[in-house]
């Protein structure tokens, strides 16, 4: 166990200020994430250093297409999540019972950083489960990683509190935030959360200088209407037309097995909506479509990165240097070295 940060004492318990649920946790109880517990007036993280998954990934798998493309990232996760998504692809990792012990392999921040360096990674990604719930461990790893020349990445549902986002921005370099839908109803019924705090986090992290990319998993009948996708695209474009938007195909899983797979034509429609909203970079994932993961230059329209059609995780051809298109010299948005 490790004492948590970002909590305050109140008459009826401890107020966790880490995420937007702002749980008031009574003595002997846990927050909604099921990995932060009030023991005798002290809030503890039950997952500090308890790494339940670790692997080397291409950074494109996060997905991040404009952050050190072609590099590898050391990915780690503990168990737990502050959402209850019915379509979670990592539910065995993310969903923890109220009395379950969420243990993993004991790792120290020094070990995590050393493993990343030994594996030849240029960054550490806090991913697979929701990194907000193991914030203390991620922060200690992130601060040490930055000292040793590694970048830090969050793959998150975006439910950080404002104070957590500000604290993370002191060591976080990039984030992929999952905007799951542009509907409060969807967030309430499918995720057990709210949309507004996610949108606030996206705006906040962008203002703090963290490189952002957005992912939306498109689920037929739930978040795939043209009107909703257009509103979401316009929201992203209103922050910056240079924020990449990743549109992914859904497949039935966990508790959401009655919805069909996303047809390719829906993804193509969504990409067109994003482009019509002015977004420079819109990508398609979980689908084998020609050019789905290619990066085109907003200046001349030529492909500056060709990615394979099996998921976009491998670069097949690069036509840029120092972050600029070799064809016309246009400065591409992102972190390229």
Instruction: State yes or no: pLDDT of 98 exceeds 70.
Output: yes
The pLDDT assigned to 17 comes to 98
Q: Mean of the pLDDT values across residues 46-53?
A: 97
Q: Is the dihedral of CA 150, 151, 156, 160 positive or negative?
A: positive
pLDDT, tens only, 185-224: 999 999 999 999 999 999 999 999 999 999 999 999 999 9
Instruction: State yes or no: pLDDT of 310 exceeds 70.
Output: no
The pLDDT assigned to 248 comes to 97
CA distance 276 to 156: 27
pLDDT, tens only, 123-150: 999 999 999 999 999 999 999 999 999 9
239: tokens are: 């922050």
Question: Full-prediction pTM beyond 0.85?
Answer: yes
The pLDDT assigned to 317 comes to 87
User: Of 163-177, 211-225, 283-297, which range is least confident?
Assistant: 283-297
Instruction: State yes or no: pLDDT of 311 exceeds 80.
Output: no
3 state DSSP class of 284: strand
CA distance 289 to 308: 10
Fold of 50-287: TIM Barrel (3.20.20)
Confidence of residue 309 (pLDDT cuts 50, 70, 90): low
Which sequence spans correspond to the domains of the chain?
Answer: 2-45, 50-287, 290-337
The pLDDT assigned to 112 comes to 98
Give percent of the chain above pLDDT 90. Answer: 93
The pLDDT assigned to 100 comes to 87
The pLDDT assigned to 8 comes to 98
DSSP per residue, 54-122: EEEEEGGGTT-SSBSTT-EEEEEE-S--S---TT-TTHHHH---TT-----EE--HHHHHHHHHHTT-S
Q: Terminal CA-to-CA distance of the chain, rounded, Å?
A: 37
Q: Mean of the pLDDT values across residues 67-74?
A: 97
Does 63 sit behind a cis peptide bond, omega within 30 degrees of 0 on the bond before it?
yes
CA distance 128 to 30: 22
CA distance 144 to 82: 26
pLDDT, tens only, 255-281: 999 999 999 999 999 999 999 999 999
Q: Mean of the pLDDT values across residues 94-111?
A: 92
The pLDDT assigned to 316 comes to 85
Asked if 127 and 172 count as a contact pair (C-beta separation under 8 A), the reply is: no
Asked if 7 and 15 count as a contact pair (C-beta separation under 8 A), the reply is: yes
Confidence of residue 1 (pLDDT cuts 50, 70, 90): confident
Q: Which helix (H) or strand (E) holds 307?
A: strand 303-307
The pLDDT assigned to 304 comes to 96
Q: Please, what is the average pLDDT of the chain?
A: 96
Q: What size, in residues, is the chain?
A: 337
Q: Mean of the pLDDT values across residues 315-333?
A: 94
Query: Among 64, 80, 73, which Cα is nearest to 132's?
Result: 80
């Amino acid at each position: 166990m490790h004492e948590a940060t970002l909590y305050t004492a109140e008459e009826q318990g401890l107020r966790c200020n880490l995420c937007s649920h702002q749980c008031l946790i009574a003595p002997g109880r846990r927050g909604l994430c099921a990995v932060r517990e009030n023991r005798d007036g002290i809030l503890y993280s039950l997952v500090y250093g308890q790494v339940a998954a670790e692997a080397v990934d291409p950074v494109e798998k996060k997905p991040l297409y404009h952050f050190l493309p072609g590099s590898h990232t050391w990915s780690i996760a503990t168990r737990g999540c502050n959402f209850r998504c019915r379509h979670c692809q990592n539910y065995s990792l993310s969903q923890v019972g109220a009395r379950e012990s969420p243990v993993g392999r004991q790792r120290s921040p020094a070990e995590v950083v050393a493993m990343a360096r030994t594996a030849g990674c240029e960054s550490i990604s806090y991913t697979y489960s929701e990194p907000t719930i193991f914030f203390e461990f991620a922060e200690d790893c992130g601060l040490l990683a930055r000292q040793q020349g590694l970048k830090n990445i969050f793959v998150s549902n975006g439910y950080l509190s404002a104070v957590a986002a500000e604290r993370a921005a002191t060591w976080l370099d990039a984030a992929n935030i999952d905007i799951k839908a542009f509907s409060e109803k969807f967030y309430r019924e499918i995720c057990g959360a709210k949309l507004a705090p996610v949108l606030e986090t996206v705006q906040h992290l962008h203002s703090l200088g963290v490189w952002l990319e957005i992912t939306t998993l498109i689920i037929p009948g739930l978040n795939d209407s043209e009107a909703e996708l257009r509103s979401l695209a316009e929201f992203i474009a209103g922050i910056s037309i240079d924020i990449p938007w990743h549109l992914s195909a859904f497949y039935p899983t966990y508790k959401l097995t009655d919805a069909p797979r996303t047809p390719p034509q829906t993804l193509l429609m969504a990409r067109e909506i994003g482009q019509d909203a002015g977004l420079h970079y819109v990508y398609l994932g979980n689908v084998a479509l020609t050019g789905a993961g290619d990066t085109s230059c907003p200046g001349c329209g030529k492909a500056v990165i060709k990615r394979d059609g099996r998921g976009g995780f491998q670069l097949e051809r690069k036509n840029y240097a120092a972050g600029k298109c070799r064809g016309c010299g246009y400065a591409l948005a992102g972190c390229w070295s």
